[in-house]
Amino acid sequence: MSAPAQAGFGKVLKEWIFTCDHKRVGILYLIGSLAAFLVAGLMAMLIRVELSSVGPTLTANPGTYNVWLYFHGAAMILGFQIPALTGFLANYLIPLQIGAKDVAFPRLNALSLWLFWMGIVLALLTFVIPDPPDFMWTAYPPYSIISSGNTAFYTFTVLIMGFASIAGGVNLITTIIYMRAPGMTWSKLNMFVWCTFAAFIVQLIFVPVLGTAVTMLTFDKYLGTTFFSPGSGGDVLLYQNLFWFYSHPAVYVILLPFLGIVFDVVATFARNRVFNYKAAVYGAIAVALMSGEVWIHHLYASGMPDWIRIGMMISTILISVPVGVMMISLVGTLYRGAIDFKSPMLWALGCMFLFLIGGLTGIPNAMSAIDLHIHDTHFVVAHFHYVMAVAGTFAVMAGVTYLFPKMFGKMCNEGISKLGFVVTFIGANVTFFSMFFVGLQGMPRRYFDYQQFPQFQGLNQLITVGAFIMALGFLIVLISWIHALVAGKKAVDNPWGSRSLEWTTSTPPGPGNWAEVPDCTNFDPYGYGSNK
Partner 1 sequence: MLKRFGTSALAVLTVLGACSGAWASAAGGAIKNPAANWQHLWDEMLLDITIIGVVFALIIIYLLIRYRRTQPDQEGNPPVLSLAAQHAWVLIPVFLFMADDLFLAARGWNLWNDYRSVPAGSYEVELKAQMWSFNFKHPNGVEESGTLHVEAGKPVVVRMTSADVVHSMFIPDFKVKEDSMPGRVTYLWFYPEKSGEHVITCAEYCGMMHSGMHGKVIAMPKDQFQAWADAEKAKIATANAEGGKS
What is the size of the binding site for Cu ion (CB under 5 A)?
Answer: 1
Which of Cu ion, partner 1, none does residue 336 bind (CB under 5 to 8 Å by kind)? Answer: partner 1
> What is the per-residue binding string for Cu ion in 231-250, x denoting contact by CB under 5 A?
-----------------x--
Is 204:252 a contact under the CB 8 Å cutoff? no
Which of Cu ion, partner 1, none does residue 26 bind (CB under 5 to 8 Å by kind)? Answer: none
Residues 246-285 that bind Cu ion (CB under 5 A): 248
Give the C-alpha separation, 14 to 25, whole Å.
Answer: 13
528 secondary structure, DSSP code: T
Q: Which is nearer to partner 1, 15 or 340 (CB)?
A: 340
Give the C-alpha separation, 183 to 203, whole Å.
Answer: 28
> What is the per-residue binding string for partner 1 in 36-65, x denoting contact by CB under 8 A?
--------------------------xx--
Chain mean position to CA 357: 18
Q: Which of left, alpha, beta for 385 (phi over 0: left; psi -120 to 50: alpha)? A: alpha
Burial 68-88 (b: 16+ CB within 10 A, else e): bbbbbbbbbbbbbbbbbbbbb
> What is the per-residue binding string for partner 1 in 391-410, x denoting contact by CB under 8 A?
--------------------
Q: Which is nearer to Cu ion, 295 or 496 (CB)?
A: 295
Q: Which of 111, 205, 237, 289 binds partner 1 (CB under 8 A)?
A: 237
- Count of residues making up the chain: 532
Give the C-alpha separation, 129 to 133, whole Å.
Answer: 9
Chain mean position to CA 333: 23
Give the C-alpha separation, 489 to 71, whole Å.
Answer: 38
Sign of CA dihedral 476, 481, 483, 484: positive
15 φ, ψ (degrees, to nearest 5): -60, -45
Minimum separation from the CB atom of position 228 to partner 1 (A): 9
Which of partner 1, Cu ion, none does residue 59 bind (CB under 5 to 8 Å by kind)? Answer: none
Residues 470-509 that bind partner 1 (CB under 8 A): 497
What residue type is assigned to position 426 of the chain? I
Q: Is 378 in the site for Cu ion (CB under 5 A)?
A: no
518 secondary structure, DSSP code: P
Given the rule CB under 8 A, which of 4-12, 199-207, 461-469, 523-531 is the region that contacts partner 1?
A: 523-531
> What is the per-residue binding string for partner 1 in 280-319, x denoting contact by CB under 8 A?
--x------------------xxx--xx-xx--xx--xx-
Minimum separation from the CB atom of position 249 to Cu ion (A): 8
Which of partner 1, Cu ion, none does residue 528 bind (CB under 5 to 8 Å by kind)? Answer: partner 1
Which of partner 1, Cu ion, none does residue 373 bind (CB under 5 to 8 Å by kind)? Answer: partner 1
Minimum separation from the CB atom of position 363 to partner 1 (A): 6
Residues 346-375 that bind partner 1 (CB under 8 A): 349, 352-353, 356-357, 360-361, 363-364, 367-370, 372-373, 375
Q: Which residues lie across from 489 on neighbouring strands?
A: 411
Q: Is 330 helix (H, G, I), strand (E, B) or coil?
A: helix
Residues 322-351 that bind partner 1 (CB under 8 A): 324-325, 327-328, 331-332, 334-341, 349
Is 170:505 a contact under the CB 8 Å cutoff? no
CA terminus-to-terminus distance, the chain: 60
Which of Cu ion, partner 1, none does residue 248 bind (CB under 5 to 8 Å by kind)? Answer: Cu ion
Minimum separation from the CB atom of position 483 to partner 1 (A): 24
Q: Which is nearer to Cu ion, 323 or 467 (CB)?
A: 323
Q: Is 136 in the site for partner 1 (CB under 8 A)?
A: yes
Give the C-alpha separation, 126 to 471, whole Å.
Answer: 23
Helices assigned H by DSSP within 219-276: 236-270
Binding residues vs Cu ion (CB under 5 A): 248
